[in-house]
Structure formats: C-alpha cells, structure tokens
Amino acid sequence: MAAAPDFPAAELEAVLGARAARVSVEPLPHGPPAATAGLWRIEADDQRLVLKVLHADPDGHPRWPAAHNPDHPYYWRREALAYESGLLERLSGGLRAPHLRGCFDREDSSVAVWLEQVEDPPAREWTLDRYGLAARHLGRAQGSPAAGLPDDPWLSRRWLRAYLDLRAHEIETHLEPATRPVWEARDAMLARLEAGPQTLCHLDFHPGNLFGGESETVVVDWAYCGIGALGEDAGNLVPDTLLDGFVAADLGAELEQVVWEGYLAGLVDAGWSGDERAVRYAFAAGAGLKYVWIRARLASGVEPETATRWRRVLPLLDELAAEAVRLASEA
C-alpha cells in the first residue's frame, strides 16, 4: 500500500475551488496493475474524493504491465484519457463511471486523477438479483445503437489476446487434458470474438469494481477500457465473482443465469436486435477462455482456501469453455 501522497496544493485547490482548511488522507488497497502508483481517499472539509495516481512502469508486474504505447492493450495512461475525453460521461442505461473532479500532469511524468468518492453499496453486499440488475445496466449501455462505437486511438483493442499471451508460458507448462481443447482452439476462438459484434467494454468487469443501489451501477477502474465483443464483459463478471468469493461457488449456476438473462434484457431495453448466438459466444468465451489459466495456477500452488474455492468453480468454467469451443467450431 502506497504512503500518503505529497500532492501539490494547487491540485486540491483546483479540485475544490478554494483552499481547504482541513485535509485527511487514507491510503486505499489496489490491485496489481503496474500503472497504478497509488490510490487514496481524501477528505477535504466536507468533501470526499478519491485520488488515483498513474505512472508508466515497464518493469512492473509481469502479468499487469504498464506499456508506453497508446495502442498497447495495457497502455498506462488510458484511464486518464478515458475520463478527460468525456467518453465515460456518455455512458447510459443506468451504468456510469465516477465523476471526474480533475486530472493533472505532474513533473515526475505521473498523472493524478481526482474522482468523486462513490458512496453506493459495493458488490460484496449485493444479492444475486442485484448482480442481474448490474448486468441489465451493462446491456443497456452496450446495446444502445445511439452510443455508436468510439474510435479513439488510445482505446484498447484485442485485449483478451494480450491477456492470454502474458499467461501462455504458465498455461503450457501445466497444460492438462481438461485445458488442452480450449487452449489449442484459442486462435480460432479469439478470431471469432474479434470478428463478432463489438462495443465499448470495461474489460475488467469485476465485482470489486462495481458499486450500486437501486437505480444505477457505478463502475471504477477503467484502465483497460476499449473495443471488445458484445457479451464479453458480462461473461467476465461470472467467474470473477465466484473465483474471488463474492458469491459462493455453489450458487454459480444461478449467478450465470441471472447475469445472462439480465444482460439480454438490457440489450433489448436498449433497442438491440442482433444475433443472440454471437452474444452468447462472447459471454461463454469471456469466461471459459479467459480463465483457462486457473488449472495451471492450481498446479503451481496457491493458498489452500483459494485452491478449494477455485476447484469448486472449475466445472462451470469447463462448461462455458466447452460451449465456446462448440460455438466457434460451428461458425
């Protein structure tokens, strides 16, 4: 966890519109992506903010790099650009990002992104039905014909392909019979995913990034946002929720059903009338293909409690991977 930031007073004054009489700083935990230099909750007088500092770190985490090139799927500055461009303010259908309060380039080449503090309940407190509502909000946002497909050059593209490339050595070192069919079919599966209906995706639609009450779902951490397949984000939500223990593994089939049905309902709400099979393929591949590395990590050794939880999710992952392989072969 990063130490308290020595942020320029001018930043805080610009964000607040006046100099604060009282400021308190609380460091917040954050995941491994190397682009995040630190994350803090800031209370300034009666306002609550979040400060996220981004930096390039090519020598950072091997599976979560922070690349310099804007067209790289792991470009370090992408989240700041997504906020600055206004792209995230145009989300619709009950899905939104935190409101930007200020974005500042610093002398050390880092970027400070100041955001509203989200006060809505986190996904860890949600019921299964609330996950379904989040999926419906996502479907509404991604299925809206009026939204169009953004073409900003810094948006990520072919992100899942890069994600799997970073794990290829580990997967192939521990390639098991249950994993081999989906791994050997990955090029065809990725090609179909990239050729199917596309939309603006978050690409880390993880419950740890989701907050929401009854009327909206707020999504944080847009570091990987870009062009992805319609259905890919929704598919990602199911295994992430189970593998990280937000929902018990024995409720996996129910979670998959409420997320899938919620997402389809959201697409219909938005006026979408495309090929449901293409969306279902992306949903299955977004889960089964993305998490093909789980067995390899188990073979490498993980903490016992985590291993037990992951093994209980394997049947659902296998089922989704097999569905994706079958649908890809039928194309």
Chain mean position to CA 154: 17
The tens digit of pLDDT for each residue in 83-100 reads 999 999 999 999 999 999
Place of tokens 């206004």: 86
pTM: 0.94
Q: Looking at the structure, tell me whether residues 166 and 109 fall in a common domain.
A: no
Residue 253's CATH number: 3.90.1200
**Are the beta carbons of 53 and 111 closer than 8 angstroms?**
yes
Q: Is residue 3 part of a domain?
A: no
Q: State whether the Cα torsion 310-121-258-90 is positive or negative.
A: negative
**Are the beta carbons of 230 and 280 closer than 8 angstroms?**
no
Q: Looking at the structure, tell me whether residues 63 and 206 fall in a common domain.
A: no
Instruction: Provide, rounded to the nearest whole percent, the portion of the chain with pLDDT above 70.
Output: 95
Q: Inform me whether the pLDDT recorded for 296 exceeds 90.
A: yes
Q: Looking at the structure, tell me whether residues 166 and 43 fall in a common domain.
A: no
Q: Which domain holds residue 93?
A: 9-116
Measure Cα distances from 331 to 37, 262, 277, 328 in Å. Answer: 43, 25, 10, 5
Q: Looking at the structure, tell me whether residues 269 and 186 fall in a common domain.
A: yes
Q: Looking at the structure, tell me whether residues 83 and 129 fall in a common domain.
A: no
Q: Is residue 131 part of a domain?
A: yes
Q: Is residue 144 part of a domain?
A: yes
The tens digit of pLDDT for each residue in 202-243 reads 999 999 999 999 899 999 999 999 999 999 999 999 999 999
How many Å apart are CA 196 and CA 192, to the nearest integer?
Answer: 6
Measure Cα distances from 49 to 16, 40, 80, 188, 212 in Å. Answer: 10, 8, 16, 44, 17
**Structural domain total, the chain:** 2
Q: Looking at the structure, tell me whether residues 83 and 35 fall in a common domain.
A: yes
Measure Cα distances from 297 to 65, 75, 254, 294, 325 in Å. Answer: 19, 26, 26, 5, 22
pLDDT at 2: 46
User: Of 40-44, 87-91, 117-121, 134-138, where does mean pLDDT reach its minimum?
Assistant: 40-44
Q: Looking at the structure, tell me whether residues 79 and 134 fall in a common domain.
A: no
Stretch 26-40: mean pLDDT, rounded?
82
Stretch 123-139: mean pLDDT, rounded?
98
Q: Looking at the structure, tell me whether residues 221 and 149 fall in a common domain.
A: yes
Residue 24's CATH number: 3.30.200.20
Q: Looking at the structure, tell me whether residues 68 and 147 fall in a common domain.
A: no
Q: Work out the pLDDT band at 41, boundaries 50, 70, 90.
A: very high
- Can you read off the two tokens belonging to residue 238? 């199911």
**Are the beta carbons of 34 and 54 closer than 8 angstroms?**
no
The tens digit of pLDDT for each residue in 253-285 reads 999 999 999 999 999 999 999 999 999 999 999
Domain boundary among 84, 116, 148: 116
Q: Looking at the structure, tell me whether residues 112 and 207 fall in a common domain.
A: no
Domain boundary among 116, 149, 171: 116
pLDDT at 62: 78
Q: Is residue 149 part of a domain?
A: yes
**Are the beta carbons of 137 and 226 closer than 8 angstroms?**
no
How many Å apart are CA 114 and CA 120, to the nearest integer?
Answer: 18
Domain boundary among 86, 116, 146: 116
Nearest to 41, CA basis, from 27, 57, 58, 56: 27
Q: Is residue 233 part of a domain?
A: yes
Q: Work out the pLDDT band at 30, boundaries 50, 70, 90.
A: confident
Q: Is residue 2 part of a domain?
A: no
Q: Is residue 1 part of a domain?
A: no
Name which residue leads in pLDDT, 22 or 163. Answer: 163
Q: Looking at the structure, tell me whether residues 229 and 258 fall in a common domain.
A: yes
Q: Looking at the structure, tell me whether residues 146 and 292 fall in a common domain.
A: yes
Q: Is residue 109 part of a domain?
A: yes
Q: State whether the Cα torsion 234-248-208-172 is positive or negative.
A: negative
Q: Work out the pLDDT band at 33, boundaries 50, 70, 90.
A: low
100 φ/ψ angles, rounded to the nearest 5 degrees? -75, 135
